[in-house]
Amino acid sequence: MKRTVTTAPLPAALFAMAALFVAVPAAARPQSYAEMIRGALVPTPVGYAAMCNSDPQLCGAMAGVGAQAEPITEKQRMKLLRKVNRRVNSRVHQQYDVSEQWRPSGIGPGAVGDCEDLAIEKRMELISLGFPPKDLFFAIGYLGGEGLHAVLVAHTAKGDLVLDSRTPWTSEWSRTPYVWLVRQSDIDPSVWLSAIPNGTPASV
């Protein structure tokens, strides 16, 4: 993702809200929710929209089109999340992409990718291993001093867990260092929503 906030393809109002939220002491922030907040509709990130326009089959696969996975237990789901997060993070050389092109990073020799590329790769791998596509979505957060950061998020019985390219561990979304700005709808992957805490989460 872009390292600066002002040029990112998201509403300026979201960044203003994020800046204010960063300045609020953690103890004074809204209580966390098990599931990431579903707020108002926001524009789709430019890179994601361009990817789906150029490769609709890829976006269809990430949405689970044609997937016929067998049911898996919660224990199996958690094991898959940890395994895939560690494997992709360890096999991909992470490199900032100025073009902001969204694409799977791959995990073979010479694999290179930005944060969103690793998130896509993890999503595709999890789906291929039987993880329910409907329980996976992308989210973009902001970290002071670093900028924007894209991750994959998974619904679990414990709540929404973040698969972050910065760490081999999965984490509860509300216990990460990011101010979450936007997220995909888990009902319609083509729809993106605000994830900024502002009260009771809204449903799509």
Residue-level pLDDT, tens digit, the chain, 204 residues: 754 433 344 444 444 444 444 443 333 333 446 999 999 999 999 999 999 999 999 999 998 886 666 789 999 999 999 999 999 999 999 988 777 889 999 999 999 999 999 999 999 999 999 999 999 999 999 999 889 999 999 999 989 999 999 999 999 999 999 999 999 998 899 999 999 976 444 333
Residues spanned by the domain of 46:
12-23+32-63+72-194
Interior CA angle at 126 toward 55 and 130, to 5°? 110
End-to-end CA distance of the chain: 26
Number of compact structural domains in the chain: 1
Q: Is residue 59 part of a domain?
A: yes
Residue 112 lies in a domain: yes
The reply to whether 40 falls in a domain is yes
Residue 99: its pLDDT value, please?
A: 76
CA 3 – CA 141 distance, rounded (Å) = 12
Instruction: Give pLDDT, residue 197.
Output: 76
Contact present, 184 and 191 (Cβ < 8 Å) = yes
Q: What's the pLDDT at 4? A: 41
- Supply the pLDDT for residue 33: 64
Q: Is residue 204 part of a domain?
A: no
Q: Is residue 202 part of a domain?
A: no
In a domain, 19, yes or no: yes
CA–CA dist 70, 172 (Å, integer): 26
For the domain that residue 84 is a member of, what is the CATH number? 3.10.620
Residue 160 in domain? yes
Residue 3 located in a structural domain: no
